[in-house]
Structure 1
């Protein structure tokens, strides 16, 4: 039988947080450094750029591994890495070329494996809900970040919707903004990916964004 914890015991538990500062803290506060994040958005809204900016920021706090199921090591991915200056975090960022989930799981089980894991995209993995739960349960000590296609403003597909519901942090990318919808929301609650693009997209709706850390569009 599992142990039951008192309120005092739970409150006193020490949790490792990601010490975001500036625009990152404004958007996402200081979330726990493990668990599940789910990021979704339609093509052409800045999702790829946001992922590169997020990975670059996370490299300040640990090692990142990015399993690219869609682009792999293609020319488009090469250009994305160059455009976002990922050479600056070369020692802390690694890219996998469509590594199957079972092999990725074995990699993550090894000592000194990456702290932050990006899987892009969820639909390309072919994971069932049961397989996702087994994978996430095995790697509770990691921060698992799933990137997803969107159907309108919802994750694409029933399984993706269920995984998003389960996630600790949910981030919807629209109009070059990454909007926090999960358990960790900063005082602003959104991150501007590309300032000019966001102004054009949201201008007619009377919304303003926070300053971007990158002026590149993807």
Structure 2
């Protein structure tokens, strides 16, 4: 194998190599997408927008320009792999990134070498040809002065390469047979079965059914007496039927023939789509137009908001892999969940909400909006008791205006937003449930919203009952115990054991059993 630039007499036009724009999701590189999707959980969120690609360890997310902004899709994935290799250095993963490393110093130079090597390794895994990209060359030139450290450390390249291999292995997660995790999904195959019937004469002709994936309804417009060729790319034969023979019934005999190009609704040749047609002899047919239906029908343009069973079965949704007591509390919720928390004052709803916020920092950045109590000594104590004071991706706000809250959500910096209490905004603006849904839930679909409500003296929800229909789950708090009920199962979580023991000893015994009475110790002297 030789570099094309080293070969004389032939212009391979390497500078123009695959300078196409990736216009649709169909042009994504399947293997590369699978590698990114199989990243170990909790994975750093991937966000798109802007002109710069970077990974931020303080907030633990990867930022990328959109796919169409790159010259080629290969350039996009090489850059994406570079940033994801950086993310493996976070302290909760491989703990490789040196805090305080600045542009140009030795630690920074080594980390960039690790990311570049790792991007090459992952590109090779994805089958992406690595060429001398000007962007990569210019990027390396920007920190060329840092390469002076190679003179002082002649093993720097080897160490960087070794760290890059560890980062690559971390992402690929090979099993005992050396098969990376992403391949397990790609290696699954679906066998197609074709049922054939013997030749039958007359109106008792059986139905010919091909067990194939669902496609859209296709209409073949045929003039009278024109032959109808039913294409089947798997057997390379066709069934020849005259239109009038549909009325009388006929012998269905397979004949070798040249398959015609049948163009479906999207103008793509039928055989290229691998969409075969299942037919059934009709008892009556007086119109020159025949409509052929697959045994399984997909969604048509006339019903664009309708999904078939196969459509919903093939859909995938991101979830949060909760473990331990949190998994017992609410199983494995959606990545973009919506929760409502309420309870009487001084029963632990804010304490419970901050503990939940602390756990969610394992999956992304959180913003806790103390709209009701603001930020004060009590807030500081709650922050410390919940453990949030040790989290670099946890942030506070005392915003009380809708427009200010919208700006915070629009920043794209937060994955989970707690609003404590939402009643503050309701009282100040008269906001209705559908207004919150339009201005926040639909406008920011990538954010999970956790709303804390106040209740009546009897402990019931206070306000428009429409708010109770917005969340996926309702969490009530009583005597420092959170009770979850909704789409994520039913569960309980004790916010504060000592508080539960003091305010509700009976309930405490149900959870933790009887306490042993202290025995009197008598010493005879």
- Shorter-normalised TM-score: what interval? 0.7 to 0.9
Q: What is the alpha-carbon distance in structure 2 between the residues aligned to residue 20 and residue 32 of structure 1?
A: 10
Q: Alignment partner of 1:130: what SS?
A: helix
Which range moved further: 121-130 or 57-66?
121-130
| CA displacement 1:82-137 (0-9 Å, x = unmatched) | 23332211x11110122422222233223x42100101101101222232121222
Q: Alignment partner of 1:44: what SS?
A: coil
Q: Which residue matches 1:153?
A: 459
**Matched ranges for 1:101-112 at <5 A:** 101-110=402-411, 112=412
Q: Alignment partner of 1:173: what SS?
A: strand
Q: Which residue matches 2:398?
A: 97
Q: RMSD of the TM alignment (CA)?
A: 2.0
Quote the offset at 1:65 in angstroms.
Answer: 0.6
Kept after mapping to 2: 8 A contact 1:177/1:209? no
Q: Alignment partner of 2:510: what SS?
A: coil
Quote the offset at 1:43 in angstroms.
Answer: 0.8
Larger Rg belongs to: 2
Q: Is 1:119 matched up with 2:419? A: yes
Q: Is 1:8 matched up with 2:307? A: no
Q: What is the alpha-carbon distance in structure 1 between the residues aligned to residue 480 and residue 343 of structure 2?
A: 10
TM-score normalised according to structure 2 size: 0.37
TM-score normalised according to structure 1 size: 0.85
Q: What is the alpha-carbon distance in structure 1 between the residues aligned to residue 479 and residue 336 of structure 2?
A: 28
Structure 2 residues not aligned, in runs of 5+ = 1-302, 513-525
Q: Alignment partner of 2:442: what SS?
A: helix
Q: Alignment partner of 1:150: what SS?
A: coil
Q: Is 1:137 matched up with 2:442? A: yes
**Matched ranges for 1:200-211 at <5 A:** 200-204=502-506, 208-209=510-511
Structure 1 runs (4+) deviating above 3 angstroms are 199-207
TM-aligned CA distance change 1:123 to 1:32, over 3 Å: same
- Higher relative CO (CA 8 A, sep ≥ 6), structure 1 or 2? 1
Residue-pair matches, total: 204
Q: Is 1:39 matched up with 2:345? A: no
TM-aligned CA distance change 1:4 to 1:190, over 3 Å: same
Q: Is 1:59 matched up with 2:365? A: no
Structure 1 residues not aligned, in runs of 5+ = 211-218
Residue 29 of structure 1, aligned match among 327, 331, 343: 331
Q: Alignment partner of 1:43: what SS?
A: coil
